Chain A
Amino acid sequence: MVNGDKEVQGLQLPYKYENSLLLYISSHNCEISLLLFVAIWETQNTQAKVQINLRCSFIGSFLMEKYELIKEKNKRGFFEGRSLITSKIVTLKQLVVHPVEGVPASLIKEISLLHELENPNVIRLLEVVNSKHQTTMVLVYERMEMDLKGFMCIYPTVMTSPWTRKVLLRQILNAVSFFHSYNLIHGKIKPENIFVDPDTKVLKVTDFIWPRSILNQDSGDPHEDSTYNYMAPEILIEQKQYTTALDVWSVGCVFAEMVTKTPLFPAKTEFHQLLKIFSIMGTPHEETWPGIDEMHPHSYIYSRSEPKDLRELVPGLEPAGIDLLNIEVSLYDDHETYFAKVFSLALMPNVNNMGIFL
């Protein structure tokens, strides 16, 4: 949607902060309010200027009165910033409102609800900043250290500890069950949406507010390869059955990835995603997944595979963890019991206050 990259030529930089990311607004079209920004990074040692084009539109000058941008946090549209009033580090996420029928109802409901949600493992929304032209807004969150994807890369040895994995998994499940207790389905549990503090191991899941409700109805992230990797098969097939079991599936995928460092079901398209899932969990048929023929009349196109042993695919996971994973990513299960089983298995108050399959 943003057309073309702009060269940094003859720019007058409005702000300059030593050793921090400088932002210059190269163009802004307030009608659709897709803003293209060019950021110039001054590295600490060389002062060399490296141009970073932020492909996703981000943050108007309106924000500059209250917050200063520090850096891009991850490719999911999260940025790190600093409050100019309190000097506190915050996390920023931009949303663009389509000027059609006002602010979308889903967004109004989600944000007003989010203000009331308080959970140690759910990221807290501090405020919402509107642009002067009231077409763009930025959600300001409490500080988030690094996402789980980055954490797994930077601290590979820490992740080999079953203790760390258990601590993190328990917090993810705590956040998910909290959302579910409000009848909310997160829908996008994946490592990029989970943040971890490397020192304290405190984990926070980001909220359920996605640009889908604003830009268009498309829920996918076109720029991201991993979009489908954490999606449950029923949503890949039908795209309308939103249940809490979807999140449990995603948690299972994240759990396996914490052990192996690679996605359990890597694939780039919807079709290949189902193929991948079936190749590991076995191609479903009426006996293993009652109702699948009606739900997916063309399921015969998938070559028949038998379920593989997760113990071989996720080496290094203790037997109780394999049991839990098996429930989380089972193709078909009665949703009520499915859910209850996962949480009772994972969250049982147990020895050492750890709770997870000890």
Chain B
Amino acid sequence: PPADDAVIDSLIASEPHHRPIHRSIHRQDSINWILTAHAHYGFKPATAILSVNYFDRFLSSASLPGNNIWAFQLLSVACLSLAAKMEELRIPSLVDLQVSEPRFVFESKTVQSMELLVLSNLHWRLRSVTPFDFLNYFISQLPVSCRPDNHDPHGR
């Protein structure tokens, strides 16, 4: 769609609905694992951003049992899986997704339950606003001479 000022206004308006308010001690480890798996499968940049967005939003509205490491690992897998399903064309199986020998590996049934729990907590709103949604607009505002040669009109 053509990016104009109205589009940008609506993006800015809906951004607060997708903002995290919680920080956990295991957050960094979880994100590191997400990025490792993300790199392993060569996913799109948007997939990483969405995964972390879901992760943070989930923790903003719910807490994991006893702050256990396994629970954070399960949440990471579920968030990455959901983000991949939103963005990627080829999605590895839920077991294959758990790369780099994490301490805990979960059955697909368990991951599915976690997926549904995350979906429910996020009220099924997974089309989060990411920086990529703004790129196209900003590029279009640049003088023609500054634009990248073959910039992807979809901004992804």
> With the chains together, A36 CA to B112 CA distance in Å?
23
Interface size band for B: 20 to 34
Q: A162 vs B102: C-alpha distance in the bound complex, in angstroms?
A: 67
Contact: A134 with B126, CB < 8 Å? no
Pair A108/B93 contact, Cβ less than 8 Å: no
Q: What distance in Å separates the Cβ of B29 from its nearest Cβ neighbour in chain A?
A: 23
Cα distance, A128 to B124, chains bound together (Å): 8
Q: Which residues of B contact A109 (CB under 8 A)?
A: 85-86, 126
A101-B93, A130-B117, A134-B116 known; A113 vs B127 contact (CB < 8 Å): yes
Q: Are B85 and A105 in contact (CB under 8 A)?
A: yes
In whole angstroms, what is the CA distance A99 to B113 when docked? 9
A109 and B50 alpha carbons, distance in the complex (Å) = 13
B154 proximal to A (CB < 8 A): no
Given contacts A113-B127, A130-B117, contact A99 B86 (CB under 8 A): no
Separation in Å of the A108 CB from the closest CB of chain B? Answer: 5
- Report the nearest B residue to A106, measured CB to CB: B85
Q: Is A86 an interface residue (CB 8 A)?
A: no
A105 and B116 contacting across the interface, CB-CB below 8 Å: no
A112-B85 contact in complex given A102-B111, A102-B112, A105-B91, C-beta closer than 8 Å: no
Q: Is B71 an interface residue (CB 8 A)?
A: no
The distance from the CB of B72 to the nearest CB of chain A, in whole angstroms, is 18
Q: Is B31 an interface residue (CB 8 A)?
A: no
Which residues of A89-148 are within 8 A (CB) of B? Answer: 97, 99-105, 108-109, 111-113, 115-116, 127-128, 130, 133-135, 137
Is B63 in contact with chain A by the CB < 8 A criterion?
Answer: no
User: How long is the Cα–Cα vector from A112 to B53 in the complex, in angstroms?
Assistant: 15
Q: Give residues 110-130 of B contacting A (CB, 8 Å).
A: 111-113, 115-117, 119-120, 123-127
Supply 19 further A-B pairs (C-beta < 8 A) apart from A102-B94, A103-B82, A108-B86: A99-B112, A100-B108, A102-B111, A102-B112, A103-B112, A103-B115, A105-B85, A108-B85, A108-B124, A109-B85, A109-B126, A111-B119, A112-B125, A112-B127, A128-B124, A130-B117, A130-B119, A134-B112, A134-B113
> Considering the complex of A and B, which 5 residue pairs feature the smallest CB-CB distances, nearest first?
A105-B85, A134-B113, A112-B126, A134-B116, A102-B112
* B-binding residues in A (CB < 8 A): 97, 99-105, 108-109, 111-113, 115-116, 127-128, 130, 133-135, 137
